[in-house]
Amino acid sequence: MYRQTEIISDYSKVPSTGGDLGEAGDLVINIGPQHPSTHGVLHLVITLSGETIKNVEPHLGYIHRSIEKMCESLSYRQFIYVTSRMDYLSSHINNHGCALCVEKGLQIEIPERAKVIRVLMDELTRLASHQLWWGAMAMDVGALTPFFHAFREREAINDIMEETCGARLTMNYIVPGGVMADLHPDFQKHVKEFITLFKSKIDEYDELVTGNIIFQNRMKNVGYISKNDAISYGCTGPTARGSGVSCDIRKLYPYEVYNQLQFDEIIENSGDCFARYLVRMQEMRQSLSIVEQLIDNIPEGDFVAKTKAVLKLPKGEFYSRVETARGEFGVFIVSEGGTTPYRIKFRSPGFSNLSALNHMARGHKIGDLVAIMGTLDLVVPDIDR
Amino acid sequence: MFLKDYISDIFNAVKSLLTGMRRTGYYFTHHKEIITQQYPDTKQILPERFRGEVIMLHDENNEHACTGCTACELACPNATIKIVTKFDVSPEGKKKKALDTFVYHLELCTMCNLCIVACPTDAIKMAQTFEHSVFDRSLLTKKLNKPGSKIRDGVE
């Protein structure tokens, strides 16, 4: 049952013993909505006993743009661009999920070339997202240099995106039926350059941060969540895989060409912050290997299937899911047969992952909360659509 | 036992510190790997597909290819484009629909490229500009067809 939180305006009225807000001597503080460690406008109301966290309550709504409602007035071609603004770090994968759902409704077969291009772009986006996460998380726990290292390599991916898709962050490259434009002639060359560059740099990442004993002490045995709890909180992505849950959509429900590729689903069993960190670091190597497998094997042919000028989905309900950098992203479309959806629901990974924050952070010190939030890889516009 | 842990902790911390400092030292002595660009002094050439703003292509005779079909206006998700049409009267006395004003609201545009894809005559394209800041918001509402321009012969 959801309980409405009382906004505390007068501390003299706070019950002194028992009650929802804790015992006497507990301190209720706000982190955010404007705080560097929350990576956006996330508002956490924290009940503290001394320096120990007793309760964390996220307050949402500061960046709500009613994207689901907006999509109801946009056509099936138009609504895809809005989803780039949800999880802006894996905007390609969001667009991919929406395009898959529309294609499911239209029952169109997309060309092989488009499939491979989509997967290539997905994995490059995942790499860029994990790089930014790595830099930002190391910065959260006090190491400033990795942030610049991460952005240096991410810049190479952004340049590739800019060259082929025309934008660096909100690409809107995937359209129902394929992709918007063919690959740039230099795409393969630049991706290969990036692969050779990044292979040496990811070892540098490990050298700088993973092996650092101070970093490991901050991460190990912090923010533990068990396998059962991860499932019951609905965690997906690296957050759940750090607890030993097998939940990679690319493996379990393969879409596009993922069933033809060789890659491992990374699972760590210790369930703490360091496990989630290791999962993401390993995933970077897996994504790199997927890109390597595909870059020389892009089939020739059309990059987009022929579709009608005005798309109309048949009456019914359609659901599709993809694996973003943060977990499972689901798109649910209810169509009444018109040119616009009757209802759209997005299942965003960040929202469910954030719900486990209270469970993870309870009993830890306030400094550990920042580390836990870092490993959850929160993107606030994704949580609060 | 306690003393052993204590000493090994110190040893590990110093080792980690030195590993980190080795990286720092490497970049200190390898200036070529520094990639910072001093923005206003050195400007990067943006790729041709970069989406900066929508422009209308005009040739040397001040002619464009826009028929005023409003395909871009319908494709736009944010009502960025507004097309005003007029009726041209040809010498034979026939009335023909033509473009009067192509209004483009840069302040509403999200550079999604859907209008460019929708255009049947390739009359508009994305320009590689990015420094859009102005002192007054009304300056961002642009008229894309140049004054006195007309449709190119043969474009239907």
What's the Cα-to-Cα distance from B146 to each of A225, B41, B63, B89, rounded to whole Å? 63, 32, 9, 20
Q: How many helices (H) and strands (E) does chain A have?
A: 15, 8
Check whether A300 has a pLDDT greater than 80. yes
pLDDT digits (tens, 9 = 90+) for A356-384: 888 888 888 888 888 888 888 888 888 88
Q: Sketch out chain A's domains with CATH numbers.
A: 11-59 (no CATH), 67-384 (1.10.645.10)
A23 contacts chain B (CB < 8 A): no
Q: What b/e string do you get for A11-25 counting C-beta neighbours within 10 Å, with b at 16 or more?
A: eeeeeeeeeebbeee
A207 contacts chain B (CB < 8 A): yes
Q: Which of residues 126-155 of A touch B (CB under 8 A)?
A: 145, 152, 155
Instruction: Answer whether A180 sits within 8 Å of B15, measured CB to CB.
Output: no
For residue A29, the Cα-to-chain-centroid distance in whole angstroms is 28
Q: Which of residues 265-284 of A touch B (CB under 8 A)?
A: none
Read off the pLDDT band of A5 (50, 70, 90): low
Contact A381, A349 (CB under 8 A): no
Cβ-based contacts of B15 with chain A (< 8 Å): 213
Closest residue to B110, CB basis, from A81, A166, A208: A81
Q: How many CB pairs below 8 A link A and B?
A: 66
A77 contacts chain B (CB < 8 A): yes
pLDDT of amino acid A200? 85
Provide the token pair at A143: 């190491």
Instruction: Answer whether B20 sits within 8 Å of A212, measured CB to CB.
Output: yes
pLDDT digits (tens, 9 = 90+) for A78-99: 888 888 888 888 888 999 999 9
pLDDT of amino acid A22? 54
A342 to chain B, closest Cα gap in Å: 17
Instruction: Specify the higher pLDDT residue, B35 or A47.
Output: A47
Contact B83, B70 (CB under 8 A): yes
Q: What is the spatial distance between Cα B100 and Cα B86, in angstroms, rounded to a whole number? A: 5
ipTM of the complex: 0.81
Instruction: Answer whether B19 sits within 8 Å of A213, measured CB to CB.
Output: no
Residues of chain A above pLDDT 90, percent: 8
A166 contacts chain B (CB < 8 A): yes
Residues in chain A: 385
Check whether A20 has a pLDDT greater than 70. no
Contact B45, B120 (CB under 8 A): no
The mean pLDDT value of chain A amounts to 85
Beta strands in A146-252 (DSSP E): 174-175, 178-179
> CB count, 10 Å around CB of B5?
9
pLDDT of amino acid A1? 45
Q: What is the spatial distance between Cα A64 and Cα A340, in angstroms, rounded to a whole number? A: 22
Amino acid at A36: P
pLDDT of amino acid B23? 81
For residue A236, the Cα-to-chain-centroid distance in whole angstroms is 10
A158 contacts chain B (CB < 8 A): no
How, if at all, do strands A52-59 and A43-49 pair? antiparallel
Instruction: Answer whether A74 sits within 8 Å of B50, measured CB to CB.
Output: no
The residues facing A332 across adjacent strands are A319, A345
Q: What is the spatial distance between Cα A21 and Cα A6, in angstroms, rounded to a whole number? A: 9
Closest residue to A166, CB basis, from B20, B23, B50: B50
Closest residue to B77, CB basis, from A74, A152, A164: A74
Instruction: Answer whether B23 sits within 8 Å of A204, measured CB to CB.
Output: yes
Q: What is the spatial distance between Cα A297 and Cα A300, in angstroms, rounded to a whole number? A: 9
Cβ-based contacts of B126 with chain A (< 8 Å): 166
Contact B115, B75 (CB under 8 A): yes
pLDDT digits (tens, 9 = 90+) for A209-232: 888 888 888 888 888 888 888 888
Check whether A36 has a pLDDT greater than 80. no
Contact A59, A43 (CB under 8 A): yes
pLDDT of amino acid A4? 53
pLDDT of amino acid A332? 92
Q: Which residues contact B110 (CB under 8 A, 6 or more apart)?
A: A81, A170, B77, B78, B80
Read off the pLDDT band of A334 (50, 70, 90): very high
Residues in chain B: 156
Cβ-based contacts of A152 with chain B (< 8 Å): 35
Residue with tokens 């200190």: B28
> CB count, 10 Å around CB of A254?
13
A57 contacts chain B (CB < 8 A): no
Q: What is the spatial distance between Cα B116 and Cα B80, in angstroms, rounded to a whole number? A: 13
Check whether A16 has a pLDDT greater than 70. no
Cβ-based contacts of A162 with chain B (< 8 Å): 46-47, 49-50
Instruction: Answer whether A207 sits within 8 Å of B112, measured CB to CB.
Output: no
φ/ψ (deg, to 5) at A321: -140, 150
Check whether A17 has a pLDDT greater than 70. no
pLDDT of amino acid B33? 65
pLDDT of amino acid A201? 85
Pick the residue of A67, A76, A79, A81 with the most B CBs within 10 A to test the interface with B by mutation: A81
Amino acid at A195: I
Cβ-based contacts of A161 with chain B (< 8 Å): none
A78 to chain B, closest Cα gap in Å: 6
Specify the pTM. Answer: 0.86
Which run of H or of E encompasses A44? strand A43-49
Residue with tokens 């750090």: A242
Q: What is the spatial distance between Cα A45 and Cα A51, in angstroms, rounded to a whole number? A: 14
Instruction: Answer whether B112 sits within 8 Å of A172, measured CB to CB.
Output: yes
Mean pLDDT by 10 residues, chain B (156 residues): 84 85 83 76 84 86 84 88 83 78 88 88 87 88 83 74
Q: Is A353 exposed, middle or buried (0-12, 13-18, 19+ CB in 10 A)?
A: buried
